[in-house]
Structure formats: structure tokens, C-alpha cells
Amino acid sequence: MTDAPIATCPFAAGTRGLDEPAPVRAEMRAAGPVVRAEAPAGGPVWIVTDPDLARAVLADPKVSKDTALAPRTWGRWTAGLEPSAAEQPALTTLEGQAHARLRRAHAPLLGAKRMTASYPRMVAIARDLLAPIAGEPVDLMADFSTRYPLTVLCELLGVPLDGVDTAMTACRGMHSQDQSEVAAAMSAFTELATAALNGGAGIATELAARMPGDTSREDLHYQIFALLFAGQLTTDPALGFLVARLLGDPGSLAAPGSSTAVDEAAVGEVLRLHPPAPFTLWRFTTTEIELAGIRLPAGAPLLIDIEGVNAVTAPGGQDLAFGAGPHYCIGAQLARHELCALAEVLRTRYPAARLTVPYADLRRIEPGGILGSRLAALPVVLR
């Protein structure tokens, strides 16, 4: 099995049409089940393109998310690395029993039962936020796509709703290349977490009671930050793609069954075609392993090509929009319910809603690295 690097950079920034396939995905699939590329921070990265192998890797205990295993030459900011597990215990950094213990604390608070109970409030929030902007042309990506998931999250967590604007500013600050802006954003998230814990009316206080006994206040704040930031980061771009396809290409999302089943199928198809992230977060081998005949050394950076795997997964199949294995996204049910609630509001309140530009003219922005893309703009009229 060859280990020659692919010619095209899979991490380049750019723009493309909403449904325009990324040429690099076809190149990677053609190159084999595991391909080598140049990592954004330098050196090799191996990318898994085969669906079955991808699921095996995501469940392999010899592959870790702990960034302490990253190449020493990588800069955290250049590579887009999270803190290591030692620096910051979190669902996205821990492995094994420590991860399982933290996941047990979160799971009931974000599972299907709890999110189903919260669904009517999600519908009401979507309805209330859309009502003031109905009737006139508006770009839903300018404010609504971020405000809606953060309003849902703040209410669920117990953050006072006057903190939504603070949360929006903090989420945007996290994407800055200026480390002082990122520090200011993290400080704002700490204030929001404190407000949620002091309020005592949301799942933040329930999470505090369920966390391991040795959890510090700072670690608890980080868990709440992760729910706010990752929750917005997942739903925001998917929301744009969902509305664009519902209004501009509804036939592609058609499904038989009840209205609820149609909404769920539409959301599932959008997440398959436009996953929140094109790749998984960074993973690293803990020992030398062999994948598809290629020997990878210990500490080798690994990614799963989520967008490419999903493209060859049948509609309704087991795609990787939220990953797989022990690190399957804890907020998957939250994101699905939020998107279904928005689809319901559009269907029932705004049946004549339309795009104000041709569907084919919509563009998606790809920031580069392993970050997901989002629509540059989504001009609509809600009627």
C-alpha cells in the first residue's frame, strides 16, 4: 500500500457553491482508505476515507484525542489544538474510564428524553426570534443562525437570557487569531457559567451535582463553556444549510410520512450532506499501528474524513455527522431537536417563505484547517 501524499491540500480556505463538491474529497477517496497529507502546522497527517475503517479507528483505544500526543513542533494556535487532558479534563480530551465517568455525568441531561421534553420550548424560541424579522428581506446568517442555538443553550443551562449577546460575542471571539481576544472570550464564558450556576434553574446546576467529587470550580466552568461553544458551533452552520435546502431545493429533502417524520428526515439528510465539521477533531496514535496496510508510528496525527464518508453513505444510513464510538457527540440530540424545531416553525408559520437569491448563487465559506464551513449569507423573506 502506497503512502505517497495527495497533491491537493485538504485544509485550504476558500468558497464554493452550496452543493458544489470539494474536488479534494474525490481525490482522497481515489487515493485509498488511508491517505497522507501535509498538516496545517507542518508534517504528515493521515486521513481515513473508508467508512468501515473510520468507525474502527473511532472505537480504537490505541487512537487518542489527548493533544499531549501531538507533534512537539506544532503550535497550538496554528494546529487548532485543544488543551491536553492534563491541562483541561473534558469530554473532548479524556479517554478511557475518566472519559466514561465524565460522559455519565452529562448524558442524561442531553439525551433524547430530556431534549424531547425541551422541544416545545425550542419551537417557541425559534418562533419568537423569527417573528420580528418576518415580512422583509433578512440575512439569517448575520444574526439568527447564531442567536437561535445560543438562546436555546442559555435557557437550558440556566444562563439569564440577557447573556445571549455576551455569548454571541464570545463565540465569535473564539475564532480570532488574536490571543487576547480569545482570552477575553474565555473570561466572558466564565461569567456566563457563573451566572448559570448561581441561578440554579437549568442543567448547569444539575451537571454540577453529577460531576465527579474532585471537580474544581474551574473545571466545571470549562464543561459549561464547552456546551455553549460547541453547541453553537454545531447548529449554527447546519441551520443555514437546512433553511437553504428547505426553501431552495425542497425536493432533495422530500420524505414520506407524518410532518414530524419529514422534518426529521430533512434534518438527517442535511447533516449527512453538510456535517458540522469536515473532519473529526485531532486524534493521535498511542503506539505504532497498521491501517489498511500502512504502518503509522506512535504519535501519528489522524483525522477521519467525515464529509467524504458521509458522501458515500446512503440517505438514512449510519453517517458520521456526529462521529462514532466513545466520543460520539454528546450534543447530537440537542442539535437534531433544535433543527427539527426550526423546520417545524418554517413549515407551519411561514409556508410561503422563500430565498431572495437563486439557490445556485448561495456560497459556503471554508475557513480552512479542520473547521467546518457555513453559508456566507442566507437572504430570505419569511411569509
Q: Mean pLDDT across the stretch 26-54? A: 95
What sign for the dihedral angle of Cα 138, 141, 146, 148? positive
pLDDT at 122 over 90: yes
356 DSSP 8-state letter: S
Which three cell numbers mark 184?
477575553
Q: Mean pLDDT across the stretch 164-185? A: 94
Which of the residue ranges 76-80, 90-94, 346-350, 368-372 would you say has the lowest mean pLDDT?
Answer: 76-80
E-strand spans in 65-182? 138-139
Q: Residue 383 and residue 376: Cα distance in Å, rounded?
A: 23
Instruction: Assign 200 a pLDDT band (cuts: 50, 70, 90).
Output: confident
Pairing type for strands 379-381 and 138-139 reads antiparallel
The pLDDT value given to residue 254: 65
Q: Residue 157 and residue 68: Cα distance in Å, rounded?
A: 30
The pLDDT value given to residue 78: 84
In the three-class reduction of DSSP (H, G, I as helix; E, B as strand; rest coil), residue 369 is classed as coil
The pLDDT value given to residue 252: 72
Q: Residue 110 and residue 103: Cα distance in Å, rounded?
A: 10
Which three cell numbers mark 76?
497550538
CA-nearest of 301, 318, 310 to 277 is 310
Q: Mean pLDDT across the stretch 326-354? A: 96
The pLDDT value given to residue 258: 67
Query: What burial letters (b/e) apply to 275-290, b meaning 16+ CB within 10 Å?
Result: bbbbbbbbbbbbeebe
Proportion of the chain above pLDDT 90, given as a percent: 89
pLDDT at 4 over 80: no
| Residue type for position 76 | R
The pLDDT value given to residue 256: 61
pLDDT at 137 over 60: yes
pTM of the complete model: 0.95
Per-residue pLDDT tens for 64-106?
Answer: 999 999 999 998 888 889 999 999 999 999 999 999 999 999 9
Question: Residue 184: what are its φ and ψ, rounded to 5°?
Answer: -65, -40
pLDDT at 177 over 90: no
The mean pLDDT value of the chain amounts to 94
Per-residue pLDDT tens for 230-265?
Answer: 999 999 999 999 999 999 987 777 666 668 888 999
Pairing type for strands 294-296 and 138-139 reads unpaired
Instruction: Assign 57 a pLDDT band (cuts: 50, 70, 90).
Output: very high
Q: Mean pLDDT across the stretch 31-50? A: 96
215 DSSP 8-state letter: -
Q: Mean pLDDT across the stretch 334-363? A: 96
The pLDDT value given to residue 249: 85
pLDDT at 193 over 70: yes
Q: Residue 84 and residue 113: Cα distance in Å, rounded?
A: 32
Q: Mean pLDDT across the stretch 338-359? A: 96
CA-nearest of 232, 153, 233 to 193 is 153
CA-nearest of 70, 11, 77 to 285 is 70
The pLDDT value given to residue 53: 98
